[in-house]
Amino acid sequence: MSMLAPAKNRPLRQSAIFRTRSALHSDGVANILSMLAQATTEEEQVGITWYSTAHVLASHWHPDMRTACGVLAALSPNTDWESNVAMAADFLAGHTDADTVPHTYDAGRKAERIRDGEDPDLVLGGRKVRSFFRNIFDPDRPGPVTVDRHATCIWLGERDTSRRPVNLVNRVGAYQMIAADYRTAGRLTGLLPHQIQAITWCTYRRIHVPPHLQTGEF
């Protein structure tokens, strides 16, 4: 019986992950739990139900939930939640397409492909967008975590004052480490990881983001 060949460039990837882990030494779980402890009762309620509420909302747009949630996720990058919802609803109703949706052509084309029957798992790109899709499609599943700029700042225990969180989460292995710490926080509190992400996102925004700059974007 032949042995499977090692994954291509695996040693280089493992080395890069090790360097990332060393550079990003952070008590991430403690920082997440610290932000969670500052949540108001309202923020807890909103965060716990955020993805399940989004799931119900998407169910009104299309008989196939994977299609509805996939289009919503495809149109989510760099978009506040209210605009995201409006664009997805219009797109699934056939009022817009890749050429007319008020988003990038790339995002519109992905939404179009999903609306036309392609599997969102094969169309969507980027861990954040794929996790966002899975969190909305199956809000009872405990695995995926939508790691955005706020989630990264919470993990670091820092206020977002530069592009460091954005650059950091793109480093090899960083997204996985941050998501793993949200899952650990979930096990410690009895909450689902994406519920903690949503609660702490709301709390972080209240504490650190001026009201006139606040949006509903994950």
Can you give the pTM of this predicted structure?
0.82
Q: How far apart are the first and last CA of the chain?
A: 48
Q: Distances from the Cα of 166 to the Cαs of 30, 125, 154, 175, 204, in angstroms?
A: 21, 16, 13, 11, 16
Tens of pLDDT, residue by residue, the chain (218 residues): 333 344 455 565 455 545 555 545 568 899 999 999 999 999 999 999 999 999 999 999 999 999 999 999 999 999 999 999 999 999 999 999 999 999 999 999 999 999 999 999 999 999 999 999 999 999 999 989 999 989 999 998 877 655 565 667 677 678 999 999 999 999 999 999 999 999 999 999 999 876 655 555 55
Look up residue 49 and give its two tokens: 């139900």
For the chain, domain boundaries: 26-213
